[in-house]
Structure 1
Amino acid sequence: MGLILILGASRGLGRALATAYVEQGHRVIATVRRAEDMAALQALGAEVLQVDLADPASVSGLAWQLDGASIDLALYVAGVWDGHGAGVPPTQQQFDQVMHSNVLGFMQALPQIAPMVQEAEGVIAAFSSSMSLLSEAAPDAWLYRVSKAALNMAVASAGAQWPGVTLLALDPGWVQTEMGGPAAPLSLQDSVQGLMQALAGVTPDDGGCLLRHDGHRLRLAAAG
């Protein structure tokens, strides 16, 4: 079975995906921010690295920790909710927290992992949201929407730099996690099963797309 890297697996979708891929027999390397989150994932059968994806200094050691592994699938799951009301300008602290985790972390991690994914002619997928789309603009979760729109641009812009890598964004839907809340219409299990099925069907033509948990594809940038 192939090697799967999950960046941000201490809880929610990241942990559920790590669990599901281990159960399928894959070798899984997962990252967590805090040392106390390592044991639970190790008990599931994953290899665990401590990396704070919101901290460039921590991310800078990621390639060294991975030690040249050939990666078939890398998932950037890490992200935070903005946590402030509709129409309220973010403070610098709020902006830095959300943008560092949701955008900068991915942009810092990408050149570290892309050569290893390139070796396997694999897939890199960053977790985004339909809330990132201009067609879905709304006054709620303003900063979160902006961060995921920026993430989409990073995905659409960076793909050509690593030929052989299929780089795309993922939309897991509104899921019943700590971030999504209990009112979300999609269970964690259903989102994970949908994402895994959708990822299993990815081809190089899907590079630069937003891939939904239900398999629907939306191109983030004009072709050519």
Structure 2
Amino acid sequence: MPTVLILGASRGIGLEFARQYADAGDRVIATARNAEGLKKVEALGAKALKLDVADPASVSGLAWQLDGEKIDVAVYVAGVYNTDGATQPPTQQEFDRLMHTNVLGAMQAIPQVAPLVEAAGGRFVFITSDMGHIAGAGSSFGWLYRVSKAALNMAVKAACTDYPAATFAAMSPGWVKTDMGGAGAPLTAQQSVASLRKTIAALSKRQSGAFLNHDGKPFAGW
């Protein structure tokens, strides 16, 4: 039975990942930062781990919680959003909030989780955004969010070279109906995750480090 780790599964895309992998018969380990999120994970029949990716002290304990595991698929989903543009500077509080969750959390998780993914010859996927595609930036809307996701993409591309037995990828889920994406988005979380899972299953070693859309199409220049 494959083992799947979802980092950030309390709601939205992360919770849907946990649901779909559990429904497929996989063994699911999923993290949430509070009691409400942990109950949602447990209700799916998944193993719940308390983890706040924005707190370095919390992330530092991830390795011992996963001791002895071999991870076939790991998905870093945790992320926060900001819509401010470049007409005003971000506050330090907002900068720290986005960078700690979207970038630092992932960079702290990689050295702890990637060896477990390598042990299974598995896949380590990071949910990013097409707003992190530098060549595709047409406005400053979500300026700080764009910067954080571009940084995450670079972290994934750089890290994959140190873990050759694992396959890394940064993937955009598309515009999804979640708390972050809003009600006007064209994709449901169920549709997005189903597409992402199909792409994850089809990943090849030559794609390691790539920046892909949920349907598997690469972004130009990554």
Is TM-score (shorter-chain normalized) higher than 0.5? Answer: yes
Counterpart of 1:120?
Answer: 120
Q: Residues 144-203 of structure 1: CA distance to partner in whole angstroms, max 9, x if unpaired?
A: 000000001101111111120111101100100000000111121210111111111111
Q: 1:11, 1:108 → 2: CA distance? A: 22
SS at match of 1:126: strand
The residue type paired with residue 164 of structure 1 is A
**How many angstroms does 1:82 deviate by?**
1.5
Change (3 A) 1:73 1:118: same
SS at match of 1:19: helix
Which segment drifts farther, 185-194 or 119-128?
185-194
CA contact (8 A) 1:194 1:213 kept: yes
Which segment drifts farther, 94-103 or 38-47?
38-47
Q: Residues 100-157 of structure 1: CA distance to partner in whole angstroms, max 9, x if unpaired?
A: 0000000000000111111001111111111111122121000000000000110111
Q: 1:17, 1:187 → 2: CA distance? A: 12
Q: How does 1:36-185 map to 2 (within 5 A)?
A: 36-85=36-85, 87-137=87-137, 138-185=139-186
CA contact (8 A) 2:133 2:219 kept: no
Structure 1 residues without counterparts, runs of 5 or longer: none
1:29 aligns with 2:29: yes
**How many angstroms does 1:83 deviate by?**
4.4
Q: 1:18, 1:56 → 2: CA distance? A: 24
Q: 2:197, 2:60 → 1: CA distance? A: 28
**How many angstroms does 1:85 deviate by?**
4.8
Q: Residues 46-66 of structure 1: CA distance to partner in whole angstroms, max 9, x if unpaired?
A: 100001101110000001001
Percent of residue pairs bearing the same amino acid type? 53
The residue type paired with residue 196 of structure 1 is R
Q: 1:88, 1:179 → 2: CA distance? A: 22
CA contact (8 A) 1:87 1:140 kept: no
Counterpart of 1:215?
Answer: 216
How many residue pairs get aligned? The number is 221
CA contact (8 A) 1:208 1:220 kept: no
SS at match of 2:75: strand
TM-score, L = length of structure 2 = 0.96
Counterpart of 2:195?
Answer: 194
**How many angstroms does 1:35 deviate by?**
2.2
Change (3 A) 1:219 1:31: farther
The residue type paired with residue 200 of structure 1 is A
**How many angstroms does 1:86 deviate by?**
5.5
The residue type paired with residue 55 of structure 2 is D
The residue type paired with residue 214 of structure 2 is H
Which segment drifts farther, 195-204 or 22-31?
195-204
The residue type paired with residue 52 of structure 1 is D
